[in-house]
Amino acid sequence: MKSASNPIPNLSGFSERNGSWYAEEIPLSDLASQFGTPLYIYSKKSLTEAFQAYDRACVDPTGHRRARIHYAMKANSNLAVIDCFKKLGAGFDLVSGGELARALAIGADPKSLVFAGVGKSADEIAQALQAGVKCINVESIAELHQINRVAQQLNCRAPISLRVNPDVDAQTHPYISTGLKGNKFGIAYHEVLKTYREAALLSQIDVVGIDCHIGSQITSTSPYLDALDKVLDLVEQLKKEGITIHHLDLGGGLGISYGSETPPDITEFTNTLLDHVAKRGFAYLDVVLEPGRSLVGNAGVLLTQVEYLKPGAEKNFCIVNAAMTELMRPALYEAYHAIVPVQNKNLKSLTYDIVGPVCESGDWLGKDRTLGIEEGDLLAILSAGAYGFVMASNYNTRPKPAEIMVDGDKAYVIRSRENTQDLFSSEARLPD
């Protein structure tokens, strides 16, 4: 059901056929019957196609590899999801010791791991150095010295790149903009050369790269090109000073269509960036790209059931069994997700706010949606593969949902549903 109030993106792994929604070859209603709701469902086909769209641009017609994809695990870190990308040839972008442990758990090559993040602890730095990661992205001068101290204690070398804050407006939501001088991320552009000089003098530091990431859900190529030019200008200046940069990390952040957005085609976007690097004379650099949302966002849906339809004085409410605890993005960012009935029953349509059972007025999943539904119906919340389950919580003592991966006509449980006892099994009462 598509309307002006509920625009629906084009999806490769999910489709409507004769009034029923499918995940690849399996009806969503069958998955709800088998695994219950709320339920996260991912399409392996969609994950694969998105990765291949990037990878096509990473190899030129002569077979020379121009760039490598390092999946940004923060978007969706389920072991089955990251294992799928590893088998396709991806490396990984990590932002915590926990994500490092997940990557190592699936057998990722440590040299395919880039450790990022604005507040790495000494323990996390030690874990990364002991694992032998490709690079640690440095976000401040204080962190640079911390890395050097930890490397001294471990008697090892620390490969680093500096994350440049280029002061470029990514034209995205302020909560997910990371490249402006008012953001907490990266080293201020005017401080970068001085910091590289300082890094080159530290006893345990190996300068290997330069990094830039300007935000998320970016739907235009121009901010990337603006940031890229500023970073390449730095590489030129560093070369003149005898500081050699081996790799260029362009970060991620390419947006997806949640319904009405028109982001660039992935392959064309990637070709544009890599061609620009070559035209500037830097084709010799090892280029790293770190997409997250654009690989997994439209590869997942959240399935939920209508509990009650509640007419109100000013609004009609559709109360479902999913909530902000399952999908935080609407409450946190006022983000839009298309919501569709899993089976179209040709019922009279009314306009609803889709809300959950959590005791917060901010617990909503969609506002002013025109839907023909009744109590007991299933709804699919689309484009939920990125920043969905990974941001889920147990607020109100709500168990987290199961996660399912669909591959053709087969469905696999890739995370079991929590039960209530799981939530307080590590707690203890005070003695009498």
Residues taking part in catalysis: 359
Q: Does residue 258 have a known ligand-binding role?
A: no
* Pair 99, 290: CB distance under 8 Å: no
Give me 129's structure tokens: 């150095």
Task: Count Cα neighbours of 430 within 13 Å in the Cβ-side half-sphere.
Answer: 1
Q: What is the DSSP letter of 177?
A: B
Give me 127's structure tokens: 């874990």
Q: Does residue 290 have a known ligand-binding role?
A: yes
Q: Which residues are CB-neighbours of 314 under 8 A, at least 6 positions away?
A: none
The whole-angstrom separation of Cα 227 and Cα 274 is: 13
Q: Which residues are CB-neighbours of 152 under 8 A, at least 6 positions away?
A: 203, 204
Q: Does residue 236 have a known ligand-binding role?
A: no
Burial of 270 (0-12, 13-18, 19+ CB in 10 A): buried
Q: Which CB contacts under 8 angstroms, 24+ apart, belong to 61-70?
A: 66/274, 66/277, 66/278, 66/283, 66/287, 67/270, 67/274, 67/287, 67/288, 67/289, 68/112, 68/286, 68/287, 68/288, 68/289, 69/289, 69/290, 69/291, 70/112, 70/113, 70/114, 70/288, 70/289, 70/290
Q: Does residue 387 have a known ligand-binding role?
A: yes
* Pair 296, 88: CB distance under 8 Å: no
Q: Does residue 293 have a known ligand-binding role?
A: yes
The whole-angstrom separation of Cα 356 and Cα 250 is: 38
The whole-angstrom separation of Cα 54 and Cα 319 is: 39
Q: Does residue 251 have a known ligand-binding role?
A: no
Q: Does residue 333 have a known ligand-binding role?
A: yes
Task: Count Cα neighbours of 84 within 13 Å in the Cβ-side half-sphere.
Answer: 24
Q: Can you say how many angstroms the Cα of residue 249 is from the centroid of all Cα atoms in its chain?
A: 17
As beta bridge partners, residue 406 has 43, 411
Residues annotated as binding site for substrate? 293, 329, 333, 360, 387
Residues annotated as binding site? 253, 290-293, 329, 333, 360, 387
Residues annotated as binding site for pyridoxal 5'-phosphate? 253, 290-293, 387
